[in-house]
Structure 1
Amino acid sequence: MPIFFDRQGMSTSRNHRTIINVLAKKFALQRPTMESPQKQKLVVVASNNIPKIKATRDGFTQMLPDSYNFRGISVDSNVSDQPFSDEETLRGATNRAQNAQAARIEADFWVGIEGGVETHNGSICSFAWIVVFGKDGKVGKARTSAYFLPERTCQLLKDGVELGHADDMVFGQTDSKNKQGSVGLLTGGVVDRAAYYTQAVILALIPFRNASLDF
């Protein structure tokens, strides 16, 4: 039996194949390519204190957006438990960053945060220093704002009590330095310890944000 071909049908079929090929190529171009996962940068905080780690995380993610892994480790500050001058407090933050670097040499950044107090006309104010080391050799430093402490707290500090313990005694708290800190207790939570440190972490990262400038 003879076989007859419908020219119109063949043309229609050919058109369908052409459309399918065009669509296949289009979807192939739109299909997302598999990219290798971005390596996280390791930031080592020279403390296991919760507000210090949170402040470091918040400061880095705001100032230098990237993919990070934040790790806290316990290291010595090589200064007194309660630094009593600006110089000693800065030295403590620097020592913490250096000791963290020695302990975790594979990291990308090392952050030392040290809280201290100093006297002003018989009163005592509280503050902190932040020191950041980068694996490229850059160093960033910044000091927080300062605030004055109540007389009861000042007397305990003069008696040799560390600020965190003095706060617990004055305000009837437990381990307040791992929570809101003295600044949080005194401001009624308007500014907690993590938020208090965060701005200084951001300022300490200025040299890293402006890599082409010398500091």
Structure 2
Amino acid sequence: MEKRITIGSENPTKIAAVKNIYHDFEVRSLQVPSGVSAQPFSDEETQLGAMNRAKACAASSADGIGIGLEGGVMYVGDTLFLCNWGALATEDGKLYTASGARIALPKEIEDGLQTAGELSVVMDEYTKKENVRSQEGAIGIFTNNLVSRENMFTHVVQLLKGQYDFANFNY
């Protein structure tokens, strides 16, 4: 039986992040609901979105792993940060979570979120580009492409795989 991973998104950066780490797995994408707002505004909400996606993917296949990756924003004091979470769920109900890079967002992005409601809309306007979320992402823009959205989520998937492998390693 072929090993299978289902990623709860059709976003190419998220799919690529999973494929970067799980080379020997069949990776399929499935659009599943996050169960949270379109723009998560806290670590907790962003993590919950990733967990909901991972669980839905794991439930969709009796022979594989589900992965959910969710981007959001959260405040530290009065500074808005980009945040991201991932979750890995197994068909037998085990769940692993991890978070990755954070970066402070410029004030004009925070102001734009108050009216636009979703970071992807604000970033497209800010950069005068289309579909930034499926390319370099906000992290790529604000790190001058030193860290892309795919890089950021690849790191989260590494953390998830490491936890899963550790839990299933027989010493």
TM-score, normalised with respect to structure 1: 0.74
Matched, 1:193 2:145: no
Secondary structure at the counterpart of residue 49 of structure 2: helix
SS in 2 for 1:125: strand
Per the alignment, residue 5 of structure 2 pairs with 43
Residue identity over aligned pairs, in percent, reads 29
Given candidates 29, 33, 49, the residue that maps to 1:92 is 49
> Is structure 2 residue 116 aligned with structure 1 residue 154?
no
> Which residue number corresponds to residue 134 of structure 2?
178
Unaligned segments of structure 2, at least 5 residues: none
Separation in 2 of the partners of 1:77 and 1:208? 22
Contact 2:56/2:66 (<8 A) preserved = no
What CA deviation, in whole Å up to 9, does each residue of 1:31-58 have, x standing for no partner? Answer: xxxxxxxx43111000000000111111
Cα deviation digits, residues 169-214 of structure 1 (max 9, x gap): 111110010111011111222111001111111111223211148x
Partner Cα separation in structure 1 for residue 37 and residue 116 of structure 2: 10
Amino acid at match of 1:205: K
Per-residue deviation at 1:107?
3.9
Residue 152 of structure 1 deviates from its aligned partner by: 1.2
Which structure would you say has the larger RCO, counting Cα contacts within 8 Å and 6 or more residues apart? 2
Code of the residue aligned with 2:38 in structure 1: it is D
RMSD: 1.6
Structure 1 gaps, min length 5: 1-38, 62-66
Contact 2:7–2:67 (CA under 8 A) maintained in structure 1 = yes
Asked if the contact 2:58/2:64 (under 8 Å) is kept, the reply is no
**Can you list the C-alpha shifts for 1:137-177, whole angstroms capped at 9, x where unaligned?**
43221001210111111111122421111111111110010
Shift of 1:113: 0.6
SS in 2 for 1:47: coil
Cα distance in 2 for partners of 1:91, 1:114 equals 9
CA distance in 2, matches of 1:197, 1:77: 16
Q: What secondary structure, in the 3-state scheme, does the structure 2 residue paired with 1:200 have?
A: helix
User: SS at 1:74's partner residue?
Assistant: coil
